[in-house]
Amino acid sequence: MHPKPGESRMDRIEESVIALILGLMTVLAFVNVIVRKSGGNILWAKETLVFLFAWLVLIGASYAVKKGAHLGVDVVVNMVHGQKRRALGLVAVLICIIYSFLLLKGAWDYWANFANLPQTTGRVFPTGFQEMKPTDYRSWYIVNDVPNPWFLGWLEGAMNYGDPYDKLPRFIPYMVLPASMALLLFRFIQSALAMFAGKIDRVVASHEVEDEIEEVRERLGAAMDGETDAGSAK
């Protein structure tokens, strides 16, 4: 598979992960339906699908920033031009950066103790890391139904003091929270840099996408009319 022009390795990895998750969800849902029709049930299928769907949505959020595919209200932006439009775009992306940074802090603080890691200090912005107390080590928390696969058995000694995991440790599916928020923050920073460089003037490109779709429709219509005229001439 050849990379598209302007596509980075991270973009390709992101697309591959999203495609893999979507494929796994499709296969697992299909197999579970067949099994249930036969009178059986895959006990861990529903919870696995919930986790996969969460991964798909959270990773897809940052990918949508990269593609300018998020919904946005750009009425005010379209009323101005030049430097004013660029300034409004910079204000918007700055707000998005602050918001995604706060999401990253909240996601880390929620996930950290499940991985025996410290939460951050500071109510809004992190000022450091908390000192770990005995009750903060929560790597023993597990999910409800998904079994722990054999190839993750080494986590029992590394994270659970040698005690076996009956189910998948919770910090594994939950790790998408800080990871996806960090990726979201990175994508908004990329958008801000692109605005500073004058490559874009907004985070979303709703009307540009609509114009491109309309242009494609016109081309397809013209091509079909040409084929019809050629057929009539014959």
User: pLDDT tens for residues 12-48?
Assistant: 899 999 999 999 999 999 999 999 999 888 999 999 9
3-state DSSP assignment of residue 111 = helix
Q: Which residue has the tokens 């998408």?
A: 176
The span from the CA of 114 to the CA of 107, in Å, is 12
Q: Residue 105 belongs to what domain range?
A: 9-204
Domain annotation covers residue 209: no
The tokens describing 141, both together, are 């928390």
Q: What length is written for the chain?
A: 234
State the total domains in the chain. Answer: 1
Q: CA angle 117-118-121, nearest 5°?
A: 160
Given a cut of 90, whether residue 72 has pLDDT beyond it is no
Confirm whether 104 is domain-assigned: yes
Specify the pLDDT at position 211: 59
The reply to whether 25 falls in a domain is yes
Domain assignment of residue 231, yes or no: no
Q: In the prediction, which pLDDT does 190 show?
A: 93
Determine, yes or no, domain membership for 191: yes
pLDDT at position 6 is: 58
pLDDT at 2: 47
